[in-house]
Structures are given as C-alpha cells and as structure tokens.
Amino acid sequence: MKIAIYGASVSAQTIDHATGAVTGYAEVLRREHMAALGATEIRQFTYGGNRASDGGLALLKDVIAYQPDICLFEPLIEDMTRGTRISEGEIRYIYRRLLKAGICPVTLMLPLPEQGIPDGLPEFFKYCKICDDHGLPIVRVNVSDVTNIPAKFNDIHTRHAGARIYADQIVDQLTKLGGLGALWAGMTAPSVTDDMVYVRRVAGSAARSGSLRRLQMRLVLEKSAKTGIRIVQQQTIGPFSPVLDVAVRGKPTSASPQWHTLPPAQIRVWDTYCHYPRETFVTMADFHNAGHSVLKLDITCSETDPNYDTCRRKVASWPARNERVMKPIGPITVITQIRLQSAEAI
C-alpha cells in the first residue's frame, strides 16, 4: 500500500541535515511504522512556505499521478502570509479529485503545539464540516497533555520527540479506523458547488528555468465574468528574491479593441527566512478579474526593496536591485473560478 503525505512545511520535515536527527513525523512513519500501517512506500508532496489554496492546488496533480492508496492530507499548518484563505469550493475540489482518482483521503488535523489541539486554527471547522458531511476520515492530533513543549517542538515544527508523538498518534488513530476497506465505507464525493475552482498548468512553462526578471502571460477565459485569478509556480527563493510588480490588462472579448488596466499590485516573494535558498511555491499574482475574458499579465521584479530589517538572521549585505530575480523550477499553475480556454507564457 502506498501512502502520500500532502501538506506544508511540518509535513515536509525529514531530518536535520546538520545533525542527522529525525525531525519529521513523515520520516518517523517511514522508519518505524511501515509494517504497522501496511505500507510499502510513503512519499511526501509538500508546499512548505505556501498554502493549500495555492501551492497545495498546484501540487495536487502530482499527488494524483503517484496513485497512492491513501493520501494523508495535512491542511491546517500553513504560511498565512502567502496566497489566500482556501474556499469551501477549493476544499471540495481537492477531495473530489482524490476520490475520483481512487485515492482515499484521510485529513490530518495537526495543532499549533502551544495550543495543544487543532480546533482553534482558522480552517478547522470548515474541513470538519465537509469531512463529516461526506464520511471522510479524520486523524486529530492532541498534544495538550505534552510537557516541556520547547524540547519537543521548534515553534510550529517538530523536533525528534515531537515528531514521534505525532507519528504515534497517527498510527494509533489510523489503526482504530480500520483497514483500507473500512476507510472507504460510507464515503461520498463532495458535489460541485457554485464556489467552483479550475486548476490548469501552463504547457511548456516548466522549461523556463534559470533567472528571470520578467514574466508575461496571456489568459483567455471561456466567458466574460467576475473571477479571482491566482498564478502559482514552484521556485527557488533566497537572498536574491524580489518584490514583484504585477500589471494586468483585460478586455471583454478577443474582438474588443479597448484594453482596460486593472489596479496595480505588488507581491512579496522575499520573506524573513530568505537568508538561505530553499524551494517553495510562489504566488506570483492574486487579483480579481471584473468581467474580462482576455487578460495580459506583466510580472516584473520591482524597484521596491524587500523589508530586510525583518530577516530572522543578520546578513552582511543583500543583492543589488538588478540582481534580484525569480528562479522558477516548475510549471506555472493558474487557479480560477471560470474555465480557461487557453493560458500561455509569452
């Protein structure tokens, strides 16, 4: 049986590369609990530094392509400074796609260690309601009785002892839920709602690697309507990461002669951990389209400086403005509420 672990940075943890100590619950499951779970392989699909609504939706296609028997979906602990809060329609989309692919979704509710239980996290009740409505199993981790939290957890992340606590509770609750057949019993797929979502990878965009200071895109929607649009891509970020200027023009139809300019926006790619390079999903644009079916996007590295004073580490010097770049390592994903006719990087 194959198990996919799908979540943000807590689910991405494996080992401390400086010491070799195991720090992630996924790695504890892999090393100590494969037999108890009946698993032949456990693979992580993670979007650390982003959110289920953006990096999670962009990564879902890879989870499905892996064709696991179970997907352990950990949606609550995420970077709330990125992207946008997930909608009910987007949650339904994730579960519906997994179930349609024959993958059993098990929702893993992790807490903030200092709070003990996950109930206070922003999306907890939203996920619980959808899971309860459709008979989808939940594993709910509780560390309210755990003492000496700093020795076991590093802020939201796990140290070795914390990772073992999470892994032990996951195995215990999965065992009580029964085998794969028992997990499937009573499940129904969430229906399509008015709060619909469409996720599309842009063909050929993965080939655009290296360092970029500008990205231009053209999107054509099936109809002229109001919709939110997000552009997400996996990138390497670090000291060189910029603030992005996002300029969007739109028109009602391809035949319309007049382009309308949407309000300009900025997206912060650099963050307080960018004293070192790492891979993450970057939300490069997040805007509301008011009735255009044809859109042109121009995303450029801004002259605006990142807020370097907020960095978690002291850095002697930062790259010059002309050295700030985007470093894509994966395809571009477009997330909308209206189906796309076409999407291209130009």
pLDDT 10s digits, 273-316: 899 999 999 999 999 998 899 999 999 999 999 999 999 999 99
- Percentage of the residues of the chain whose pLDDT score is greater than 90: 86
On whether the CB atoms of residues 45 and 73 are closer than 8 A, the answer is no
* Backbone phi and psi for residue 182, each to the nearest 5 degrees, phi listed first: -70, -35
Residues 119 and 166 in one domain: yes
- Does residue 29 have a pLDDT over 80? yes
What is the side-by-side strand order in the sheet with 70-74? 41-46, 2-7, 70-74, 104-109, 138-140
The CA R_g of the chain, rounded to the nearest whole Å, is 21
Residues 101 and 127 in one domain: yes
Residues 336 and 206 in one domain: yes
pLDDT at 194: 60
Instruction: Tell me the two tokens of residue 193.
Output: 């709602």
Amino acid identity of 255?
A
Q: What is the pTM of this model?
A: 0.93
Q: List pLDDT tens digits, range 130-184.
A: 999 999 999 999 999 999 999 999 999 999 999 999 999 999 999 999 888 888 9
Q: How many CB atoms lie within 10 A of CB 38?
A: 15
Q: Is residue 190 part of a domain?
A: no
Residue 159 burial (C-beta neighbours within 10 Å; 0-12, 13-18, 19+): middle
Q: Which domain holds residue 254?
A: 198-345
Domain stops at, among 136, 159, 184 = 184
How would residue 82 be classed by pLDDT, with cut points 50, 70 and 90?
Answer: confident
